[in-house]
A and B are shown apart, each in its own frame.
Chain A
Amino acid sequence: MTFSVQILLLLLLLTTAAGAIMVKDLMSSVLLLGSYSFFLALVWAWIGAVDVAFVEAVVGAGLATVLFLLTLFGTAPKDTRLRRPPPSLTTLIIFPLLGVLLLYAAKDLPAFGDPNSPASVHISPTYLEQSYQDTNTPNVVTAVLMDYRSLDTMIETVVIFASGIACALLLRRQV
C-alpha cells in the first residue's frame, strides 16, 4: 500500500517535471512547474519533513508561480509558444552518463532513517534531547533554526532583503 503511493508520487513528479521542460507553451510550463512543487511538497510531507513541505507548498506552488506569471505578462510578447531546437549529440551522450554516475554514487548513501548514519550521530541527538529544556519550544526544527543556528538564519534574512532591494533597483524607475 505505502509502496504504491510512493511509486505514484514519483511518477507524478517525473511526469510534471518532464512536462514543464517539454511543453511548447511558456504559460503551461509555469503552471506545470507549480504542480511539480505541489507534488514535491507531498513527498516531503510523506517522508516526515513537514516544515520543508510547508515551505515548498507556499513558496514553490504559490509565490513562485505568481512571480513567474507576472514576469511573463511583463516581458514576453503575447505569443508565449517556444521554438525549441532539438538537443545536440553531446547532450544526448553526457546527460545519461551523468545520471548513471549519480545512481552509482547513490548506492553509498545511508538508508532512510538509519540511526548510525553520519548525520544522525554527530549533533542531532543533542538537539533532540536538549532543545525543549533549553528553549521551551516543542518544535525542534524551529529551535534549531531560530536559536542554535540563529546567525545562519539572520544571514538568510539578509539575502532575502538584498534580493528585494536588487529587484526594486533594477526594475523600477522610481521607488
Chain B
Amino acid sequence: MIRPHDSIIVQTLGRFLIPVVQIFGLHVLFFGQYGPGGGFVGGVILGMGMILSVLIFGHDNTRSQIAKKVLHADGVGMLIFAGVGGLCMIGGGEFLNYANLEIPGLETASRRSLGIVLTQIGVAVDVAVTAVSIVFSLSAEEIIEDSING
C-alpha cells in the first residue's frame, strides 16, 4: 500500500504536473501519424500520469480511485484492436484491412487513416492499463508486509 506523500512541494507539483503529462500523452497518441510517437508511447505516458498520481496521492485518495477502477477493464484495448479487425471482416475484406471499414463518404486512404487512429487508441488503452496494473501488483499490501515480516 502506497501512502500519500507528506511534502507539500511534491503534492503541489503533482497537481500541476499530472494534467500536463496526461495532455502530452494524448498529443503523442493522436499526432503519432504526423510525427514521432504513436499508440505505444502515448499509452505509456498516459499510464505514467496515473502512476504519478498513485505515488503522490496514495492508493485511497479519490484521484487514484479512477486508476484502480480502470483495472477492471484490462481487456478493453485488445477488444478495440480486434474489434476494428472484425469490422473490416464485416465490411467484406481481410482481418485488419482498414480499406473495408464501412464508412460512407470516405476515400480508401482516409479509411485506412481512420483505422490507424482507432487501433492506436486500442494499443494505448491496453498499454496504459497494463502499466498501472503492474504498478498496483508490485505495490500490493501483502508483498510489502511479507518482506517486512520474513
A interface vs B, CB < 8 Å?
50-51, 53-55, 58-59, 62-63, 66-67, 70-71, 73-77, 133-139, 141-143, 145-147, 150-151, 153-154, 157-158, 160-161, 163-165, 167-168, 170-173, 175
Contacts and interface: CB of A to CB of B under 8 A. Distances in A.
Nearest to B132: A164
A161 B36 contact: no
Interface residues of B, number: 55
B74 A164 contact: yes
Contacts of A76: 147
Nearest to A158: B78
Interface string B97-141: 010000000001110110110011011001101110111111110
B144 interface: yes
Contacts, number: 148
Contacts of B71: 168, 175
A161 B78 contact: yes
A67 B119 contact: no
B95 A139 contact: no
Contacts of B130: 160-161, 163-164
B119 A139 contact: no
Interface stretch (B6-14, B43-51, B57-65): B43-51
Interface of A is mostly: helix
Contacts of B36: 50-51, 53-54, 139, 141
Given A164-B130, A167-B137, A137 B47 contact: no
Contacts of B127: 157, 160
Given A138-B34, A146-B116, A161-B130, A171 B47 contact: no
B129 to A, nearest CB: 7
Given A58-B44, A168-B74, 18 more contacts: A50-B36, A66-B51, A66-B135, A71-B138, A74-B143, A135-B112, A136-B113, A137-B33, A137-B116, A138-B33, A139-B35, A146-B39, A147-B98, A151-B96, A154-B82, A164-B130, A164-B134, A175-B71
Contacts of B115: 146-147
Contacts of A135: 109, 112-113, 116
Given A147-B112, A171-B143, A153 B78 contact: no
